[in-house]
Amino acid sequence: MELKTEKEPREQYKVFRQVEDALFGHCGVAAGDHVIAGFSGGADSLFLTVMLARLQAAGKITASAVHIHHGIRGNTADADAEAAEAWGERLGIRCHVVYASVPGLSREKKMSLEEAGREARRTVFAQERESCLQENPERKVWVALAHQADDQAETMLMALARGAGLHGLAGMAWQEGIFVRPLLGLRRFQIEEYLQAKGFAWQEDETNEEDDYTRNRVRHRIVPALVQDVNAGAVMHMAAAAEELRETDEYMAAQAVEWLNQNAQQRENGLFLPRQPLLNLAPVLRRRILLLALTAASGRKKDLRRVHIQALEGLLAGGSGTEYDLPYGVKALRLKEGILLK
């Protein structure tokens, strides 16, 4: 299958170059690296795989794809897995199909299907990357995810509605560890227009057309209303805001780490934070330090909310001996000279 023709329309080539620039720029991928596409068969992941195949054909990277059969949608999922292998052959890249029982994982770990699916995908991606590294230990291997600008806007709106702070509002990063998202600068309609122009038909996940899930309600109701009734550029404006918020978030995180390294004390019975140095800080930095300290004490960041940070700030102003129960079994104790997280 031809991925590019000599007379490719300018707009299609611009879209390709935009992805290429993002991959080698924002995402930090270098020439010769290997990039694994997370391939579901939907429009976004098909487009991502096509882009990586084009870059491999141009000799700029090596690429492969992995498709995860979640064991949920029966015959439809079986057909998607077969289609994924066929797409790999048509595009000239290896597409590995991995079977994972998400319902089983959900029951075993007592988590929702959504959480179990996310954990299964991360596990499979890590295993696929390790397999690629074993084939060639000298090259760097990345996993590319197909999130785009509309996904970013949906993520920001959901975070805002749920009371997230700066980190949550920053949305998804171009590069996060081994994961890269080279499509964050593109709208969903641009991706679909490109595939249609090339004659590439994608699989629609029927759950994407239902409004039973929170994200789908945001996708089908709220984002279109913002674009149509508030500002046509709303999605890209939110994407730009997310970028600024992420830069600010990363700066604040670095400042918080530096403060903790210089002032916090790891004691036998917990992590101690001195009171007066904390009170001397700007409130925005103090809250970030408290969040980072609570994350360190609990070993997890999920479900840590503004209300927990406000409770710690209350302990700073309270009397000696006051205690507060926090997520994951962490207790905060107000001492005369500071706070102890144990």
- pLDDT for 61 equals 97
Q: What is the pLDDT of residues 268-326, one digit of tens each?
A: 888 999 999 999 999 999 999 998 988 888 877 776 777 888 888 888 887 556 887 88
- The residue among 114 and 190 whose pLDDT is bigger is 190
Cα 195 from Cα 121, distance rounded (Å): 25
Among candidate residues 228, 238, 148, the one with its CA nearest the CA of residue 194? 148
Which structure tokens are listed for 76? Answer: 């439809």
- pLDDT for 115 equals 82
Q: What is the pLDDT of residues 125-176, one digit of tens each?
A: 999 999 999 999 999 999 999 999 999 999 999 999 988 888 889 999 999 9
CA distance from start to end of the chain: 60
**What domains sit in the chain, N to C, each tagged with a CATH number?**
10-240 (3.40.50.620), 264-341 (3.30.465.60)
48 pLDDT more than 70: yes
Contacts of 133 (CB under 8 A, 6+ apart): 139, 141
Cα 53 from Cα 59, distance rounded (Å): 10
- pLDDT for 296 equals 86
- pLDDT for 181 equals 98
Which structure tokens are listed for 146? Answer: 């197909």
Q: What is the pLDDT of residues 53-108, one digit of tens each?
A: 999 999 999 999 999 988 777 778 888 888 899 999 999 999 999 888 888 888 88
| Strands lying side by side in the sheet with 141-144 | 94-99, 62-69, 34-38, 141-144, 179-180, 175-176
Residue 26's pLDDT band, with cuts at 50, 70 and 90, is very high
Distances, alpha carbon 164 to alpha carbons 153, 221, 306, 307, in Å? 14, 21, 7, 10
By residue count, the chain amounts to: 342
Amino acid (one-letter) located at 196: Q
- pLDDT for 204 equals 73
Cα 319 from Cα 314, distance rounded (Å): 10
- pLDDT for 5 equals 53
Cα 77 from Cα 204, distance rounded (Å): 11
